[in-house]
Amino acid sequence: MPRYMHTPYRHPKTKIFWVKGSVPAEVRDLPSYSGTKQFNRSLGTRNPKEVQAALAKVTLALRAEWDAQLAPPSPAPITLSEHQIRALAGRWHDQRLREEERQDQHQESLLAVLSTLEGEDAPDALFTRSGLVADAVDRLLKDEPVPCDEASRARLHGELLRQHKSLYRLLLRRAKGDHTAEVERFPEWKTAATPGTLATATVPLPPQPAAASQTTSQGLTVGELMDRYDADPKRLGIRERSKAGYAVIYRVLKELLGADKPVKAITREDCRQVRDVLLKLPPNYTKRFPRMTAKEAAEEASRKGVAPLAPGTVDGYLENLAAVFNWAVAEEYMERNPAKGLGTTGKVKAKDKRLPFTLDQLQAIFSAPLYTGCRDDEANYAAPGPNHPRRARFWVPLLSLWTGMRLNECCQLLTSDVRALDGVPCLFISEEVADGPREAGRGKPAPVKRVKTEAGERFVPIHPELIRIGFLKFAEKKRAARAERLFPELSASGEGYFSDAFSKWFSRFLASRNAKTSRTSFHSFRHCYRDAMTEARLGRNSVLLLGGWEGGKTDDGYGGKVRASFLLEEISKVAYPGLDLGHLRGEA
């Protein structure tokens, strides 16, 4: 959002630039829109040089406006009980004590650090200035889906201040050689709500005095494992989508097992419990059921008949869980992986996840008004008309059909990606990094282009059919207009993918052509391409190279490179007998 805006236009009288586009289906039903399908916004400028900046500003404003209206109402703040306050403070106290006990510091160094407290009867100002208390409050409450009121935060702040002073005085005495001081224990913290469940914790359970020392004796806890796994240097480059998948597992695992459970105590049955909850859990459960835990949301969704996560999605989460435990085994935090091979009973085999389009489906797609004449390629793409727009919606399906490119590979193309190699017109698919804004939380430039795998970086000769349809002329016009992107009307999502909105539109487009089934999607073009290469009897290495699949070799083992002219001969053999695209040829 916003989706597929028209090219900005200038008002004939005022000469001010405007932009119009389609309102997303989920927004149209909001009271403020009352079914309106189109928006029309002024860019507030007459200067052509300011249009792109103004367009970006309007895009962000619309996205913020729609996201705010679609967001579920914020839950009312809750008041924490004294039991919950002491439980939270106790959890922090126990964790901090374990951290300090694990520190491999010289006694003199520790004494120097802690001696600043000596002689201060009430070092409130010291802790307040350092921000330790405020940071601890924020960390303790960050996993709670329901906020607590300001009075509760103030009480928790006061309790943590008291515990900070108590803990550091204890450490100071130990640093001076006094090991007789006992740790102040908080038995109720072990029985309180685990992180993310304060809103549902109402009745405290009986105290368990021995639990506080049990975790330390048995090693790393679940919460600590997640933190260390996230901090591993090898995971610094993980993408936001992958991080979101791990976040679900972290949340469910901490909730069901407890953040303070020793990882060595996790059993196969514990992991089955996680799987069983995931199998019932609906997508976006925190928005659907904001006041419920994952387990409660799963049960409620099952009772109401809400569709759960797809089996493939659940398997992905379980693979993430197994990856966490594999890492823990490698780091010697666990002896074995209790989640190994824990898939769902409904797992779909990779080769059966998507089917290629049939000839009838392909004919239905490429005989749509978008390809034969429509009113426009925005909201009226399905309405017959006199116009023949050739932008992303026209070219992206054709590119995938004739080159096998993945959706985002098509959508992110730059005009500079269309160029000749040894005289052969090619498309270059690569991952590139911007010099500008840095990606949130990573400290490195945000990618402007992405590839799925290392093998995805490749060049593909442009199929002769695409040339006959006019793709090279289209690319040349974009270059002549000094456009950076081949499809500038497509904008990146918050995660940096240019394909997110296009994927949703294409699903609606397939439905409008009666070409949509449960086993077909945009990725079906890639399956068509693979089948066409098989039927053309291309060699295995050519297939892997032209499709960007793992295993393709760009040299013959003796230093010789595969020539672009050879790959052009190979890709030219790809054909779809019976598919008539004659009506698309000859137009620029």
What is the DSSP secondary-structure string of 221-273?
A: BHHHHHHHHHH-GGGTT--HHHHHHHHHHHHHHHHHH-TTSBGGG--HHHHHH
Q: For residue 63, what pLDDT is reported?
A: 77
Q: Which residues pair with 414 in a beta bridge?
A: 485
* Tokens describing residue 397: 């399906």
Angstrom distance (rounded) from CA 157 to CA 124: 11
Among the ranges 108-117, 139-148, 257-266, which has the highest mean pLDDT value? 257-266
Same-domain status, 539 and 442: yes
For residue 64, tell me if it sits in a domain. yes
Angstrom distance (rounded) from CA 125 to CA 119: 14
SS3 of 115, please? helix
Same-domain status, 187 and 230: no
Q: Dihedral (C-alpha) 198, 200, 206, 208: value to the nearest 10 degrees?
A: -40
Cis peptide before 386 (omega within 30 of 0): no
SS3 of 387, please? strand
Is the pLDDT score of 226 beyond 60?
A: yes
Q: For residue 426, what pLDDT is reported?
A: 93
pLDDT confidence bin for 577, thresholds 50/70/90 = very high
SS3 of 432, please? strand
Of 221, 220, 200, nearest in space to 144 by CA: 200
Angstrom distance (rounded) from CA 69 to CA 39: 16
144 in Cβ contact with 209 (< 8 Å): no
Same-domain status, 33 and 96: no
267 in Cβ contact with 242 (< 8 Å): no
Which residue intervals of 369-437 are DSSP H helices? 369-372, 392-403, 407-411
Among the ranges 92-106, 160-174, 189-203, 380-394, which has the highest mean pLDDT value? 380-394
The mean pLDDT of 534-542, rounded to a whole number, is: 88
Same-domain status, 240 and 336: yes
Angstrom distance (rounded) from CA 265 to CA 322: 16
Q: For residue 509, what pLDDT is reported?
A: 92
CATH number of the domain to which 374 belongs: 1.10.443.10
Q: For residue 384, what pLDDT is reported?
A: 92
How many helices (H) does the chain have, and how many strands (E)? 24, 8
For residue 528, tell me if it sits in a domain. yes
Q: For residue 99, what pLDDT is reported?
A: 67
Is the pLDDT score of 404 beyond 60?
A: yes
Same-domain status, 53 and 146: no
Same-domain status, 40 and 93: no
Q: For residue 115, what pLDDT is reported?
A: 55
More confident residue, 570 or 198: 570
Q: What are 435-465's pLDDT values in tens digits?
A: 444 444 444 444 566 665 555 578 899 999 9
555 in Cβ contact with 561 (< 8 Å): yes
pLDDT confidence bin for 528, thresholds 50/70/90 = very high
SS3 of 78, please? strand
E strand map for 280-394? none
Same-domain status, 298 and 312: yes
Q: Dihedral (C-alpha) 245, 246, 248, 253: value to the nearest 10 degrees?
A: 150
Q: For residue 3, what pLDDT is reported?
A: 46
DSSP 415: G
Residues in the chain: 588
What's the burial of 113, exposed, middle or buried (CB within 10 Å: 0-12/13-18/19+)?
middle
Is the pLDDT score of 214 beyond 60?
A: no
The mean pLDDT of 481-501, rounded to a whole number, is: 85
More confident residue, 345 or 362: 362
Is the pLDDT score of 32 beyond 90?
A: no
188 in Cβ contact with 204 (< 8 Å): yes
Q: For residue 122, what pLDDT is reported?
A: 42
Angstrom distance (rounded) from CA 337 to CA 491: 41
More confident residue, 354 or 385: 385
Same-domain status, 455 and 532: yes
253 in Cβ contact with 222 (< 8 Å): yes
Q: For residue 71, what pLDDT is reported?
A: 64
Give the chain's end-to-end CA distance (angstroms, integer): 30
The backbone region for 553, taken as left when phi is positive above 0, alpha when psi lies in -120 to 50, beta otherwise, is beta
pLDDT confidence bin for 401, thresholds 50/70/90 = very high
Q: For residue 210, what pLDDT is reported?
A: 38
- Domain count of the fold of the chain: 4
- Domain end call among 153, 172, 203: 203
What percent of the chain has a predicted confidence (pLDDT) above 90?
18
For residue 284, tell me if it sits in a domain. yes
* Tokens describing residue 243: 């991080």
For residue 76, tell me if it sits in a domain. no
445 in Cβ contact with 429 (< 8 Å): no
Angstrom distance (rounded) from CA 221 to CA 194: 13
Is the pLDDT score of 126 beyond 90?
A: no
Is the pLDDT score of 203 beyond 50?
A: no
For residue 163, tell me if it sits in a domain. yes
Average pLDDT, the chain: 75
The mean pLDDT of 508-524, rounded to a whole number, is: 87
Q: Find the farthest-apart pair of alpha carbons in the chain and give their distance in angstroms, rounded.
A: 91
280 in Cβ contact with 299 (< 8 Å): yes
- Domain end call among 49, 70, 91: 70
245 in Cβ contact with 203 (< 8 Å): no
Q: For residue 478, what pLDDT is reported?
A: 92
Is the pLDDT score of 560 beyond 70?
A: no
More confident residue, 476 or 348: 476
Same-domain status, 284 and 198: no
Is the pLDDT score of 301 beyond 80?
A: yes
Is the pLDDT score of 281 beyond 50?
A: yes
Strand duo 9-10 + 424-429: pairing:
unpaired
Same-domain status, 48 and 149: no
Among the ranges 112-121, 205-214, 528-537, which has the highest mean pLDDT value? 528-537
pLDDT confidence bin for 517, thresholds 50/70/90 = confident
Same-domain status, 342 and 283: yes
Cα distances from 65 to residues 38, 59, 69, in angstroms, run 15, 10, 6
Angstrom distance (rounded) from CA 148 to CA 377: 48
More confident residue, 163 or 513: 513
Q: For residue 464, what pLDDT is reported?
A: 93
For the sheet containing 458-461, what is the strand order?
Answer: 418-421, 424-429, 458-461
Q: For residue 557, what pLDDT is reported?
A: 42
For residue 3, tell me if it sits in a domain. no
Is the pLDDT score of 535 beyond 80?
A: yes
For residue 397, tell me if it sits in a domain. yes
Residue 350, C-beta contacts closer than 8 angstroms, at least 6 positions apart: none
Residue 443, C-beta contacts closer than 8 angstroms, at least 6 positions apart: none
For residue 213, tell me if it sits in a domain. no
Same-domain status, 556 and 415: yes
569 in Cβ contact with 542 (< 8 Å): no
- Domain end call among 152, 170, 203: 203
Q: Which domain holds residue 61?
A: 9-70
